[in-house]
Chain A
Amino acid sequence: MATQHSRTSARIMVAPAVFVLLVWMLVPLCMTLYFSFADYRPLRATFDAWIGFDNYVSFLTSDSFLSSVGVTLQMVAGILCITIGGGVVLALLLDQPMFGQGIVRILVIAPFFVMPTVSALVWKNMFFNVDNGLFSYLWRFFGAQPYDFLSQAPLFSIIVIVAWQWLPFATLILLTAVQSLSSEQLEAAEMDGAPPLSRFWHIILPHLSRAITVVILIQTIFLLSIFAEIFVTTNGAFGTRTLTYLVYQRVLESQNIGLGSAGGIVAVILANVVAIFLMRIVGKNLDN
């Protein structure tokens, strides 16, 4: 199938996609890189094209950077724990024989399709609100003092919101993986007298390990750049300022472009560390 003619056409046909992505990747990134070495604060009309690594030094040594990294890690880890743990349980549950499986599946998956701003606002107002939220009502019903989630436990609240959105994703992927496990394998284990728990531990979990890895990596990539949920709930206050949010604030709110750009480059580098692992897995899959 590969003649010179078709190879030439192939090159021409890939070219537009490669070109636009190359421009998309290089032009803004180079600009960020350029700004990251400049002292550029438009509000104060300061522009000094080259100040060396000052921005990086002040960004990396600032308390807000360290705390933002801490917040980011806590947030990502919390969400991953909930979605993976919950996802495995839900996937196994949905794989059981039941009536109306299709409908239950739809119910479980739905949150993934809710736009981030909607889910954040719905949770913020209708569930977490101290005065009128459902949780407050529930607390009062049991005679407890209503709890102001978003100011008392803001990080936890955001974790709940985002985990609710991503749980369906983990469930769906793990369910696909569970269903690809041959029932013969399980039946053989059952014949060998393995009790359910050890069947789960020795057969199901190893089978899921690959899917779990993929879920972890993909979610991490997306979760590292969570924005809207923080934007509409706490606006970065009360210890919910992630690295992404910190950079956003430096760039657009305080208009310290140089510092923000340095932060942006740091974020790019950190994301790439995760990306490399994901690419390995995907790449391996491409070969067979």
Chain B
Amino acid sequence: MGRITLDRVQKKFGDVEVIPPLDLIIEDGEFVVFVGPSGCGKSTLLRLIAGLEDVSGGEIRIDGRPATDLPPAKRGLAMVFQSYALYPHMSVRKNIAFPLKMAGMAQDEQDRRIAKAATALNLTDYLDRRPGQLSGGQRQRVAIGRAIVREPAAFLFDEPLSNLDAALRVGMRMEISELHKTLATTMIYVTHDQVEAMTMADKIVVLRAGHVEQVGSPLELYKTPRNTFVAGFIGSPKMNLLTGAAAAAHGAATIGIRPEHLDVVDSGGTFTGRVGVAEHLGSDTFFHVHVPEMAEPMTVRAGGEVGLTHGDTIHLTPRAAHIHRFDAQGLRIA
């Protein structure tokens, strides 16, 4: 069980309010991802839940029980750190056994759980090595192993994959998702990687300066961003946010059009501009287009190969159904 409720939770470092009073409910078994720009308080929020930092106000409940004043050890949560934080002087086996030993578990039960975790994580051959003798991916697995043996109420991950190379990251992403499916335990996952957030989450929490900007499923955030911040933050490449005449034409202060919702047409079109950079990825082509009346270049995603290069003139038409409209405060107009 792992239902976590944050009730007016607040955090100040000295006089600086990093997290203004914040409400959030994380349902049992959910995979929740915190995203947001650097310094917005993702790690801080996670550490508040973990009990590694004191809240300055508000209440945290885990499974209905107040946990605000419990030390980390008593909250029944497990955490996987960005740096893995393995104990360098202990073998893999001892690392994984550590939380069990601290809980005073019987040796045979410890062995059983370690064996099970090692099998699940492909670590059986490495149990007697030291962390220093493992690759980054293996270390990551040990850190996860150390977390799962305790059968915690929830897992907390703070950017666990950011130290891995791209290929490994994709693999581990899958493994963690799969682990979530098998264990069906609550997971809270901090990242600033778009793809991780979109692919792994049941629910994404977008944070800005400690505020929750929007909570919802990945597709909800993609389809109906509540404001320009979320609109600009979710989706890759970024949504084009246009102001001025183009927006006024739709009765809005700002309109947003995703790069994938702009069609390249042969002539005419709503926008006409000059290609700045063309990125040919094979499957897709991204164009950065300088449109005379716009301050910023627009990004366009075209399927397959489109034979335009630097300096060419390009005509674009947005798909009307996919235009997002925002008012002067940046809030979505329904």
Contact = CB atoms under 8 A, between A and B. Distances in A.
Interface in A1-17: 1-5
B52 A1 contact: yes
Interface in B44-84: 51-54, 71
B74 to A, nearest CB: 11
A3 B71 CA distance: 9
A5 B73 CA distance: 12
Interface of A: 1-5
B53 A2 contact: yes
> At the interface, is chain A mostly helix, strand, loop or mixed?
loop
A122 B175 CA distance: 71
Interface string B29-57: 00000000000000000000001111000
B55 to A, nearest CB: 10
A5 B71 contact: yes
Nearest to A2: B53
Nearest to A4: B54
A4 B51 CA distance: 10
Sorted nearest first, the 7 A-B pairs with minimum C-beta distance are A3-B54, A4-B54, A5-B71, A1-B52, A3-B53, A3-B52, A2-B53
Contacts of A2: 53-54
A1 to B, nearest CB: 6
Size bracket, chain B contacts: under 10
B47 to A, nearest CB: 8
A3 B53 CA distance: 5
Contacts of A3: 51-54, 71
Contacts of A5: 71
A233 to B, nearest CB: 49
11 contacts: A1-B52, A1-B53, A2-B53, A2-B54, A3-B51, A3-B52, A3-B53, A3-B54, A3-B71, A4-B54, A5-B71
A159 B54 CA distance: 58
Given A1-B52, A1-B53, 8 more contacts: A2-B53, A2-B54, A3-B51, A3-B52, A3-B53, A3-B54, A3-B71, A4-B54
B63 to A, nearest CB: 21
Contacts of A4: 54
A51 to B, nearest CB: 51
Nearest to A3: B54
A6 to B, nearest CB: 9
Contacts of A1: 52-53
A5 B70 CA distance: 10
Nearest to B13: A2
Nearest to B55: A3
A284 to B, nearest CB: 23
Nearest to B48: A3
Contacts of B52: 1, 3
A285 to B, nearest CB: 24
B75 to A, nearest CB: 12
Contacts of B71: 3, 5
Contacts of B54: 2-4
B71 to A, nearest CB: 6
A271 B61 CA distance: 57
Contacts of B51: 3
A78 to B, nearest CB: 48
B49 to A, nearest CB: 13
A3 to B, nearest CB: 5
Nearest to B71: A5
A5 B52 CA distance: 10
B190 to A, nearest CB: 17
A283 B71 CA distance: 34
B68 to A, nearest CB: 11
A247 to B, nearest CB: 47
Contacts of B53: 1-3
A12 to B, nearest CB: 16
Nearest to B52: A1
A4 B55 CA distance: 10
Nearest to B72: A3
Nearest to A7: B54
A255 B71 CA distance: 59
A3 B73 CA distance: 13
B83 to A, nearest CB: 13
A5 B72 CA distance: 11
Nearest to B47: A1
A4 B53 CA distance: 8
A256 B215 CA distance: 81
B9 to A, nearest CB: 14
A278 B277 CA distance: 57
A1 B53 CA distance: 6
Residue of A1, A2, A3, A4 most packed against chain B (CB within 10 A): A3
A4 to B, nearest CB: 5
Interface in B73-109: none
B102 to A, nearest CB: 17
A129 to B, nearest CB: 54
A147 B53 CA distance: 72
A252 to B, nearest CB: 50
A1 B50 CA distance: 10
A5 B75 CA distance: 15
Residue of A1, A4, A5 most packed against chain B (CB within 10 A): A5
B54 to A, nearest CB: 5
A188 to B, nearest CB: 33
